[in-house]
Amino acid sequence: MQPSEADPSSRIQQALAAVRALVIPVDGVLNGGRMTIDGSGREICSISLRDATALKEALKQGLIVAVVSERDAEAYRPLLEQLGVTSLYLNAESVFDAYVAFRDSAGLDDDSCAYIGDDLGDISVLEQVGFPVTPIDGTDYLRHRVAYISAYEGGKGCVREIVEMILMQQGKWSYMDHREA
């Protein structure tokens, strides 16, 4: 029996080592499942500063980041572009269609992609990617359908945790204390 077949943690390590891209939906994961509208009817976007910092570090270390949404989430475009995210699919027919368009345009295969999904609309992508993740507050239905359940809620550090895991496994998280190695 291969070690990866016997030890779930080694399967996770192998999947993390293969990740070249992280795909994140706006709703539930970046915005924590909250939508705020101002008095003029415009959406006000907000994401965790820890998640934002992690996205910048991911891009700096060569990880490709894509953000998807099945609704008009254009309010997030300026913030995400300021962070350096350029693969934005913010009004897609479906998150699956957005994922496939991104994967194909980036020249990636499924095994090189990670996806964080929190609800039923994410199932088709979670079933496709090499490293499927749900936040701790993701719907119960996903818990047995992902490789990893984050210790953090969507919009409250889940993205940061997954970025750290990927970069640490690949030796690219420069903030790791040498005593931790």
Question: Does 111 show up as a binding residue in the annotation?
Answer: no
The b/e string for 119-145 (b: 16+ C-beta within 10 A; e otherwise) is bebbbebbebbbbbbbbbbbbeebeee
Q: Would you call 101 helix, strand, or coil by DSSP?
A: helix
Angle at 157 (CA atoms; ends 148, 87), nearest 5 degrees? 85
Strand-strand pairing, 43-44 and 36-37: antiparallel
Question: Does 97 show up as a binding residue in the annotation?
Answer: no
Short-list 73, 46, 63, 53, CA closest to 114: 63
The token pair at 23 is 């795909």
- Residue list, annotated binding site for substrate: 27
- Residue list, annotated binding site: 27, 118
- Residue list, annotated binding site for Mg(2+): 118
